[in-house]
Structure 1
Amino acid sequence: MAARTSSWWSVVGVLIGLELRQRLRTTRWRITLAVTFTVISLAVFGSMYLALSVNEADANYDGWARNLYVVVLGVELFLGVVLAPTLTATSINGDRKDATLAVVQATPISHWQLAVGKLLGSWVSCLALVGVASPYLVWGIVAAPYGIGTSVLGVLVLCLIFLCYCGIGLGYSALTARPAGSAVLTQATVFFLVLGLPALFGLLYSTTSEDHEVVGAEYTYVDDSYDTVPNCRDVASVRSYEHTERIWWLLAPNPFLILPDVVAAHDNPRVRVWTSDERPPDPSVARPIAETLATARTGPYLKEPTCADTRANASNRSFYDERAEFESGKVGDSWYLGLAVNVILGALGLTVAARRLRVPARTLPRGVRIA
């Protein structure tokens, strides 16, 4: 059984090698990697210049270094969103158009081996983006406040997202006859996850509004004089709140929210008031981005500040501290759900591709030839 499994994966390894050699025949990959390294370098040193030179009074290398990891990962993700689907969007119909697919299908390999080999071959090509940025990633991991283990986990999640997008592109490449059509459909699907679902969340935001009766502080001034201390009393009122916990899942598959949520739970916490003379370190930009997703998932905080909250001192927790803790309670608890959605989409694309690569083929779409 072990020998059979080893043989199965050895065939997949040969197919991965064929896929990589086919891509290495051209010199465009060298240009692509050079452009990628240039773009990442410009983002890194451009952000350093803006952080250290534009506002010299607040220039702080430590503050910039805390965000270097997020900057590099964000640029990598942006480039991968464009490149990863493109690598597989023409993998099957392009080979069929060039009459090279039938040569491989004539060998004693299964349709699953062929599909997995093409998927992993495209994924390895896409991982070259991560390899090019590895010097900056190592720099960012060392300087990040998350810890090495959490930072490496963020890189692994980035690689898995690339694999999912390659699977989506492979499925469309098997479904459509023309490479241009599959490329457009793949990019449209990926950008729907990145932009379309957040736009749909914004459109549905107002529909989640619901009225609730809450008790809050009401202030009145004596003789309409604003120079005196106002009187405070707690009154009940009806206020409208948006229950975003009903539609937060629309934001979960967004990769630009998944990656910050991976590391945000280990980031420096936000400190509104500090008692010592030394200001505590601020969190990186990953924390507020992840808190946006966490706030949408937890929904509204159905409470308003009362008179007792306004008189809270240092020994008591204020209303605003409790609300901030409630809204950020889900930070770091949503990224695996969004990643699972992407994995399901990628697995669906791989399954479609494998079924379309079966030999003999039962039915083919119009305009698709066997060879």
Structure 2
Amino acid sequence: MNAQRLGTIVRLELTQRTRSVAWYVLLGVFALLLVIVTALSFMAFSWSSREQGSAIFSTIVYITLLLVVLVSPTLSGNSINGDRDAATLAPVQVTLATTADILVGKFLAAWITGLAFVAVSIPFLVIATLSGGADAATIAVSLLVLIVEVGIIAAIGVALSGIIARPLFSVATTYLVVAALVIGTPIAFALVGATMRTEQTYNNRSIDWESYEDGEFPCMPGETPTDDYPCVQDPTPECGEWTTYTNEVVRFDRVWWVLAANPFVILADATPTTFDSSGYPVDLFGQIKLGVRAAQQPPAAEVTWDECSPESLEDQQPTPEEIIAQSTPSWFVGLSLQLLLAAGLLWWAWSRTNTPARRLPPGTRIA
């Protein structure tokens, strides 16, 4: 590959994409959406002024990734076969530009096009950061992962445009591949996980409420009676008999890895988590990470609920911070799978685009 030839191809691609008025309209619509999302986020998270910036920042980053997922397949899914249909690919192929130059140049142009949406979101991210609560490590890592995800989606679209002869089919296939990563992974996680079940034993004991007069109730451990809370201090409340029964619970801990390749999960799992005073994540990154990491925890074989000693159940429930600390990160596995998928598709596209071609699909236009 040659840097000068790459620069020429990238410049031609960007010129072709940006000379349309529709491109600027699309960016304007995205900016308007961010204005609405930012305003709603400030109102939604106004109750937590200390962590408000973190919550708003993560929301804007996710909205940006969502729009890139929705728009990028259209911008990159017909990059190569669209030029072939317009008879502009063959003149480039007979120049000094190699197949790798053409493929990588179109990929870089598609990546830069996707990053334009990230650039539009920067003022809103700055506003969220200035509102307070956003951690520097969270900002840096989340933006880095966002940029990488934009590149992976662009690579998939460009590669499929070189593999599939018809632009319409390549765009549709790009949407299907991206949808499989974004929507298909949680669907597969839910359906496959629901088919895996195991028995769980419940031990339950309740207070014997019939032993108390009408209107009376015992104080729980640590509670004292007040005028507003007239409980009865009873060091040994009357308790009923223990009851035991079994029930089937799903085993999502066996299929949590299905979510590893999801772009939104990768973004959340790779970003450092900040917790509030109660140990709960302050932003969407941490909340999504908590959900994925909690799915890794196997269900307990035995659960005990003792109403005479409520602390027994509380002791069995780890805090969100403990769940995240005791679980396994998966973002590097999912990101590696995405990179392998993009690289494999690009290699396939190179073999289909390389000249001289031994065989072309029927009806393929050469010049």
Which of these two proteins has the greater Rg computed from alpha carbons? 2
CA contact (8 A) 2:273 2:281 kept: no
CA contact (8 A) 1:253 1:342 kept: yes
Q: What is the CA deviation profile of residues 41-68 of structure 1, one whole-angstrom value per residue up to 9, with x for unaligned ones?
A: 111013224444xxxxxx4443432311
1:106 shift after superposition: 0.5
The change in CA–CA distance for 1:367 and 1:289 in structure 2 (over 3 A counts) is same
Report sequence identity in percent: 27
The aligned residue for residue 358 of structure 1 is 354
- The one of 29, 34, 38 equivalent to 1:40 is 34
The change in CA–CA distance for 1:330 and 1:158 in structure 2 (over 3 A counts) is farther
The aligned residue for residue 242 of structure 1 is 250
Amino acid at match of 2:122: S
For 2:109 and 2:281, the matched residues in 1 are separated by 41
The change in CA–CA distance for 1:301 and 1:141 in structure 2 (over 3 A counts) is farther
The change in CA–CA distance for 1:207 and 1:18 in structure 2 (over 3 A counts) is same
For 1:323 and 1:218, the matched residues in 2 are separated by 24
1:304 shift after superposition: 2.0
The change in CA–CA distance for 1:28 and 1:207 in structure 2 (over 3 A counts) is same
- The one of 3, 8, 19 equivalent to 2:2 is 8
* DSSP-derived class of the 2:360 partner: coil
* DSSP-derived class of the 1:231 partner: coil
For 1:252 and 1:46, the matched residues in 2 are separated by 30
The change in CA–CA distance for 1:311 and 1:134 in structure 2 (over 3 A counts) is closer
The change in CA–CA distance for 1:303 and 1:8 in structure 2 (over 3 A counts) is farther
1:222 shift after superposition: 7.7
CA contact (8 A) 1:141 1:148 kept: no
Q: What is the CA deviation profile of residues 295-320 of structure 1, one whole-angstrom value per residue up to 9, with x for unaligned ones?
A: 1223324442466993659xxx9424
Q: What is the CA deviation profile of residues 223-264 of structure 1, one whole-angstrom value per residue up to 9, with x for unaligned ones?
A: 67695624378787544332212211222222222222233x
The aligned residue for residue 205 of structure 2 is 218
For 1:45 and 1:179, the matched residues in 2 are separated by 38
Stretch moving more, 317-326 or 350-359: 317-326
1:157 shift after superposition: 0.7
* DSSP-derived class of the 1:304 partner: strand
The change in CA–CA distance for 1:37 and 1:222 in structure 2 (over 3 A counts) is closer
CA contact (8 A) 2:196 2:251 kept: yes
The aligned residue for residue 290 of structure 1 is 289
Instruction: List aligned pairs for 1:18-37, cutoff 5 A.
Output: 18-37=12-31
The aligned residue for residue 278 of structure 1 is none
The aligned residue for residue 328 of structure 1 is 324
Stretch moving more, 331-340 or 117-126: 331-340
CA contact (8 A) 2:82 2:167 kept: yes
The aligned residue for residue 278 of structure 2 is 271
Q: What is the CA deviation profile of residues 69-119 of structure 1, one whole-angstrom value per residue up to 9, with x for unaligned ones?
A: 111111101110012222210100110011110111111222122111110
- The one of 325, 343, 348 equivalent to 1:347 is 343
CA contact (8 A) 1:233 1:307 kept: no
For 1:271 and 1:180, the matched residues in 2 are separated by 51
Give me the TM-score of the superposition, normalised by structure 1.
0.82
The change in CA–CA distance for 1:174 and 1:43 in structure 2 (over 3 A counts) is same
Amino acid at match of 2:324: S
- The one of 191, 194, 200 equivalent to 1:203 is 191
The aligned residue for residue 265 of structure 2 is 257
Q: How many residues align?
A: 346
1:219 shift after superposition: 3.7
CA contact (8 A) 1:200 1:250 kept: yes
Stretch moving more, 238-247 or 37-46: 238-247
Stretch moving more, 62-71 or 321-330: 321-330
The aligned residue for residue 277 of structure 1 is none
The aligned residue for residue 150 of structure 1 is 138
The change in CA–CA distance for 1:163 and 1:330 in structure 2 (over 3 A counts) is farther
CA contact (8 A) 1:309 1:319 kept: no
CA contact (8 A) 2:79 2:158 kept: yes
1:69 is aligned to 2:69? no
CA contact (8 A) 1:164 1:347 kept: no
* DSSP-derived class of the 1:47 partner: helix
* DSSP-derived class of the 1:133 partner: helix
Stretch moving more, 317-326 or 175-184: 317-326
The aligned residue for residue 115 of structure 1 is 103
The change in CA–CA distance for 1:38 and 1:8 in structure 2 (over 3 A counts) is same
Gaps in structure 2 of 5+ consecutive residues: 219-236
The aligned residue for residue 127 of structure 1 is 115
For 1:71 and 1:322, the matched residues in 2 are separated by 27
Gaps in structure 1 of 5+ consecutive residues: 1-6, 53-58, 273-280
Q: What is the CA deviation profile of residues 105-154 of structure 1, one whole-angstrom value per residue up to 9, with x for unaligned ones?
A: 11122212211111011101110001111111223345564521331111
